[in-house]
Copies of this chain bind each other. A is one copy, B any other.
Amino acid sequence: MIKVSVMYPNSPNATFDIDYYCNIHIPMVSELLGSVVKGGSVDFGLAGGEIDEKAPFIAIGCLTFDTVEDFKTSFDPHAEEIMSDIPNYTNTQPQIQISEVKL
């Protein structure tokens, strides 16, 4: 199993519409990518390691797939449509990570 993490860096000027992300963007991505998506999660940053520190990321969205190839072949044809929706919910540019799910 692999996980694609889309991490939106926090900053004093960062904006993120979590309702749009959860109710419009994620459902759109799930429908476009189809049944190769095995699971997903959305985290909204509250704090850093200390409760008065800023969270490093304002939000983190993850999707899981059986293989990297499943992600690539389902995502690439829709990449432009998905990426062009980003300004509708944030003024940040996400960092993307592909991981092997170990536990």
Please list the residues of chain A having a beta carbon within 8 angstroms of any beta carbon in chain B. 2-3, 5, 7, 18, 22, 26, 40-49, 51, 55-57, 60, 68, 72, 95-103
A48 CA to B100 CA, complexed, in Å: 12
Shortest C-beta distance, A93 to chain B (Å), equals: 11
Which of B3, B45, B46 lies in contact with A68, CB distance below 8 A?
A: B46
Instruction: Decide yes or no: A98 and B56 within 8 Å by CB, A41-B103, A103-B26, A103-B41 being known contacts.
Output: no
What copy number does this chain have within its complex?
2
Instruction: Look across to chain B and name the residue whose beta carbon is closest to the beta carbon of A102.
Output: B42
Pick the most buried of A41, A95, A99: most chain B CB atoms within 10 A of its CB. A99
Residues of B within 8 A of A68 (CB): 46-47, 51
Complex contact B95–A45 (CB within 8 A)? no
Alpha-carbon separation in the docked complex, A93 to B37 (Å)? 32
- Hey, which chain B residues are within 8 Å of A49, CB to CB? 96-98
Are B103 and A40 touching (Cβ within 8 A)? yes
